With several copies, the nearest count.
Chain A
Amino acid sequence: MTKTQIFPGRYDSLEKISEFIQENTKNAGFDGFTSYTIETAVDEACSNIIEHAYGQENIGDIEISVSINPSNLTIYIKDNGKPFNPKSIPKPNLSSNLYERKGDGLGLYMMRQWMDEVQFEFVDNKNVLKMVKNKGQ
Chain B
Amino acid sequence: MEISINNYKRCDIVKVSGRIDSSTSPQLLTTFNSIMDDGKYKIIFNMSDVSFISSAGLRVLISTQKNCKRYNRGELALCNLPENIKAALDLAGFIPLFRIFDTEVEAVGSF
Contacts and interface: CB of A to CB of B under 8 A. Distances in A.
Q: Do chains A and B touch in the complex (CB under 8 A)?
A: yes
Interface of A: 11-12, 14-15, 18, 32-33, 36-37, 39-40, 43-44, 47, 50-51, 94-96, 98-99, 101-104, 106-107, 109-110, 113-114
B99 interface: no
B55 interface: yes
A92 to B, nearest CB: 9
A101 B22 contact: no
Nearest to A114: B91
A39 B54 CA distance: 10
Interface of B: 19, 21-23, 52, 54-56, 58-63, 65-66, 69, 83-84, 87-88, 91-93, 96-97
A interface: dominant SS: helix
A50 B56 CA distance: 13
Max count, chain B CB within 10 A of own CB: residue among A15, A37, A106:
A106
Contacts of A101: 62, 93, 97
B91 A110 contact: yes
B interface: dominant SS: helix
Given A15-B21, A37-B87, A103-B55, 7 more contacts: A11-B23, A40-B88, A44-B54, A51-B22, A106-B58, A109-B92, A114-B91
Contacts of B23: 11-12, 14-15
Contacts, number: 78
Contact of A106 (B55, B66, B97): B55
Contacts of A95: 93
A113 B91 CA distance: 8
The 10 nearest A-B residue pairs measured at CB: A11-B23, A103-B59, A103-B62, A106-B55, A94-B93, A96-B96, A36-B84, A47-B22, A107-B55, A11-B22
A106 B88 CA distance: 11
Max count, chain A CB within 10 A of own CB: residue among B55, B60, B62:
B55
Contacts of B63: 103
B58 A103 contact: yes
B97 A98 contact: yes
A47 B24 CA distance: 12
Contacts of B61: 103
